[in-house]
Amino acid sequence: MCETTVRAELLLPTSTTSPRAARAFARESECAEHATCLLDEALLLVSELVTNAVRHGAPPILVAMECDGSGLRIHVRDGDVALPQQRQALADDEGGRGLALLEALSDAWGVEPVADEHGVGKAVWFELRMPDQGPRARAFAGPV
Ligand SMILES: [Zn+2]
């Protein structure tokens, strides 16, 4: 639980400018106390997932970002209920780059169906955990 930065959400159009808008949003919304070291990975993954949602998904596209005090949890939701098949997607250069990057860079990720105030769809989520870099990082991580 982070007391510095609240959960942030951004609704995006199905537009080629949306990945850039999502990067700007992630840069502004990231937690300055806990998550600055995760920003590069977060921006890359957010950009890839929004690109996939624009190309292969359906509106509305929603990006949500939250800090839990020791890492970031981000999800990108779109209005297409079809879940990407991981195996197929990883073999498919066009749509699969985002999932391959998730596998390589995130500490945990998944795809799940959603039904909320925006209707039905799917959400691709991932977590980035702060690396344990000395006493300062350990203090932020809290008791184990
Ligand atoms: Zn935080």
Distance 56 CA to ligand 1 centre (A): 32
**Residue 121 CA, ligand 1 centroid: distance in Å:** 28
Q: Give the H or E element holding residue 45.
A: helix 39-56
| Predicted confidence (pLDDT) at residue 138 exceeds the cutoff of 50 | no
pLDDT digits (tens, 9 = 90+) for 63-108: 999 999 999 999 999 999 988 765 455 555 555 677 888 999 999 9
Ligand 1 centroid vs 94 CA: distance in angstroms? 34
Q: How far is the CA of 2 from the centre of ligand 1 (A)?
A: 5
Q: Looking at domain 8-141, which of 3.30.565.10, 3.30.70.420, 3.40.50.1110, 3.20.20.60 is its CATH number?
A: 3.30.565.10
CA of 43 to the centre of ligand 1 (A): 16
Residue 126 to residues 97, 106, 120: CA-CA distances in angstroms? 15, 6, 20
3-state helix, strand, coil in the chain (%, to 5): 40, 30, 30
